C-alpha cells in the first residue's frame, strides 16, 4: 500500500519522478508562453473569501445533481488523454476511482482503454464521453452510437480545439510527437511506442479501418453542433466556452450544459483564466442550463470559489493524473477525497451547510480590499 499524501500540491511535487520525462512534459505543458496556464492558478489566488460565522455547520451536505443525476460531490474528472502514460490501468483506474467516490468522469476520446471496457468495468458510475467534431460525420455518428450502446450518460463535445495547441516544451522536443499521423501507429510503430511498453493503446477503428482522431473538422460551425443535437437523445455538454456570445450560441444550438474551460491552458494562449470567464458565462446562460468549470482547480477552496461564482460543479484534469501516476486507482481516489474534505472544511469555516448556500457574496476580487 503506497503512502497517502496530504494535498494535490504534494502529489504534484512527486509527479515528475513517477512518469517518463516525455509523459511529464506532455501532461504539464501549456501552449506558447503558458500565460493562460499560469493565470488559471493565479486568478484563483486573487479571489478572497467573505465567510459568515455562527451558522450551525454541524452537518454538511456536498451532494449535487448534474443534469438530473445525483453525484456525491460536485468535483468531477475532466477528460485527459493517454492515461496509460501515467499508469498501466489507465482510464479504468480513473473510472473506478470516480465510481467509488460517487462522481462523474468524462472519458477522453484519446483514451488508452476503449469506452466499452471502461463502462463494463464501472457499470454504476456517471460517465460522459468526450467527443470532437470530425471531418467525416459518419465517424462522429459511429462514436455517438457506441456511446449510446455502452450506456454512457452524456456527450461532451470539445469545441475549443480546432487544432492542437502549440505545446512548445513538448511538441518541439526533437523527434517527439504524441499525435503521430495515425492513431493505430501507436500500437506497433508509433513514435511513442517505446515509452509505452506494456500498455494497451486500444487503437480506434471504424469498419475495421483505423481512424485518425487527431484531425478535427476545421470547417465546423454551430450548424455541425446543431446537426449532432438532432442525432441523439443523450445530453450534450459543450466544453471550451469562454464568452457570453458563445455560451448563448451553445444553448441556442441545443447544448444541455456548458463547461467554461480553456483546455487547461493548452489551446489558445492569453485567453482568460477559466475562473475569470465564469461570471460572464453564468450571467449569459446560468438561468437556462447548468454551467461547469475546469482549469487550475487544485484545492477545496478553489472549488468553493468556483461554486460561489455560479458553477454547478467543477472538473479537474492534471490533479487526477498526479494521483494516477502515484498509485493508480487509489491515488486518483485520494485526490478526489482530498478535494472533498477540503471543500467540506471550507464550507464549515465559511458557514455553508449545503452547496445551495454557496452564493456570490462569499467571493470578492482582491482589489475590493485595496480600496480600504
Please report whether residue 114 would count as binding ligand FMN according to CB under 6 A.
no
**Cα–Cα distance between 357 and 154 in angstroms, integer?**
28
Write down the residue that cell numbers 461547469 correspond to: 292
Size of the site for ligand FMN (CB under 6 A): 23
C-alpha cell at 6: 496530504
Of 238 and 350, the one with the shorter C-beta distance to ligand FMN is 238
Please report whether residue 317 would count as binding ligand FMN according to CB under 6 A.
yes
Please report whether residue 18 would count as binding ligand FMN according to CB under 6 A.
no
Task: Scan residues 202-241 and list those touching ligand FMN (CB under 6 A).
Answer: 239
Least distance (Å) between residue 157 CB and ligand FMN: 9
- 97 close to 125: Cβ distance less than 8 angstroms: no
Which window, 53-61, 143-151, 293-301, 304-312, contacts ligand FMN (CB under 6 A)? 293-301
Of 160 and 357, the one with the shorter C-beta distance to ligand FMN is 160
Least distance (Å) between residue 51 CB and ligand FMN: 25
C-alpha cell at 286: 446560468
- Of residues 263, 326, 365, 368, which has the active-site annotation? 263
What are the distances in angstroms from CA 129 to CA 108, 215, 246? 7, 18, 22
Residue 244 DSSP class: H
CA atoms within 13 Å, Cβ hemisphere of 1: 4
Whether 263 sits among the annotated catalytic residues: the reply is yes
155 bridge partner residues = 129, 236
Evaluated on CA atoms 337, 338, 339, 344, the torsion sign reads positive
Please report whether residue 27 would count as binding ligand FMN according to CB under 6 A.
yes
The 3-state DSSP class for residue 275 equals helix
Of 322 and 362, the one with the shorter C-beta distance to ligand FMN is 322
List 154, 264, 300, 310, residue binding ligand FMN (CB under 6 A):
264
End-to-end CA distance of the chain: 51
Residue 342 DSSP class: H
Please report whether residue 294 would count as binding ligand FMN according to CB under 6 A.
yes
Of 113 and 357, the one with the shorter C-beta distance to ligand FMN is 113
The stretches of the chain forming alpha helices (DSSP H) are 8-15, 21-28, 35-45, 90-101, 115-121, 137-149, 168-171, 185-188, 222-231, 244-252, 274-285, 300-308, 318-350, 367-370
Least distance (Å) between residue 268 CB and ligand FMN: 13
List 158, 327, 334, 346, residue binding ligand FMN (CB under 6 A):
158
The Cβ of residue 342 has, within 10 Å, a number of other Cβ atoms equal to 20
Of 27 and 362, the one with the shorter C-beta distance to ligand FMN is 27
List 251, 297, 308, 343, residue binding ligand FMN (CB under 6 A):
297
Of 237 and 352, the one with the shorter C-beta distance to ligand FMN is 237
Task: Scan residues 31-90 and list those touching ligand FMN (CB under 6 A).
Answer: 40, 78-81
Active site residue ranges:
263
Binding site for ligand FMN (CB under 6 A): 26-27, 40, 78-81, 108, 110, 130, 158, 239, 261, 263-264, 266, 294-297, 316-318
Amino acid at each position: 500500500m503506497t503512502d497517502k499524501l496530504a494535498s494535490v500540491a504534494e502529489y504534484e511535487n512527486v509527479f515528475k519522478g513517477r512518469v517518463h520525462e516525455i509523459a511529464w512534459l506532455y501532461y504539464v505543458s501549456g501552449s506558447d508562453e503558458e500565460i493562460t496556464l499560469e493565470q488559471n492558478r493565479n486568478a484563483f489566488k486573487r479571489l478572497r473569501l467573505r465567510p459568515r460565522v455562527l451558522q450551525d455547520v454541524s452537518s454538511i451536505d456536498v451532494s449535487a445533481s448534474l443534469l438530473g443525476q445525483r453525484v456525491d460531490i460536485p468535483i468531477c474528472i475532466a477528460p485527459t488523454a493517454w492515461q496509460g502514460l501515467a499508469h498501466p490501468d489507465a482510464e479504468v483506474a480513473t473510472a473506478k476511482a470516480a465510481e467509488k467516490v460517487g462522481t462523474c468522469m468524462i472519458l477522453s476520446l484519446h483514451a488508452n482503454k476503449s469506452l466499452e471496457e471502461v463502462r463494463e468495468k464501472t457499470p454504476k458510475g456517471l460517465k460522459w464521453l468526450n467527443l470532437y467534431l470530425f471531418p467525416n460525420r459518419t465517424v462522429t455518428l459511429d462514436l455517438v452510437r457506441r456511446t449510446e450502446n455502452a450506456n454512457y450518460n452524456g456527450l461532451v463535445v470539445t469545441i475549443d480545439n480546432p487544432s492542437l495547441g502549440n505545446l512548445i516544451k513538448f511538441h518541439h522536443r526533437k523527434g517527439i510527437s504524441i499525435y503521430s499521423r495515425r492513431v493505430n501507429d501507436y500500437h506497433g510503430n508509433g513514435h511513442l511506442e517505446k515509452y509505452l511498453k506494456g500498455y494497451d493503446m486500444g487503437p480506434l477503428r471504424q469498419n475495421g479501418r483505423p481512424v485518425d482522431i487527431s484531425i478535427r473538422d476545421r470547417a465546423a460551425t454551430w450548424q455541425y453542433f446543431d446537426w449532432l443535437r438532432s442525432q441523439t437523445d443523450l445530453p450534450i455538454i459543450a466544453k471550451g466556452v469562454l464568452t457570453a456570445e458563445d455560451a448563448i450560441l451553445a444553448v441556442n444550438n441545443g447544448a444541455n450544459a456548458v463547461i467554461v474551460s480553456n483546455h487547461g491552458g493548452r489551446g489558445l494562449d492569453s485567453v482568460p483564466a477559466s475562473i475569470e470567464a465564469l461570471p460572464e458565462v453564468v450571467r449569459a446562460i446560468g438561468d437556462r442550463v447548468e454551467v461547469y468549470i475546469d482549469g487550475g482547480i487544485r484545492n477545496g477552496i478553489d472549488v468553493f470559489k468556483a461554486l460561489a461564482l455560479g458553477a454547478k460543479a467543477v472538473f479537474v484534469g492534471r490533479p487526477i493524473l498526479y494521483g494516477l501516476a502515484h498509485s493508480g486507482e487509489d491515488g486518483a481516489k485520494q485526490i478526489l477525497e482530498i478535494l472533498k474534505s477540503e471543500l467540506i472544511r471550507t464550507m464549515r469555516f465559511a458557514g455553508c451547510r449545503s452547496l445551495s448556500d454557496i452564493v456570490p457574496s462569499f467571493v470578492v476580487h482582491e482589489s475590493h480590499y485595496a480600496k480600504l
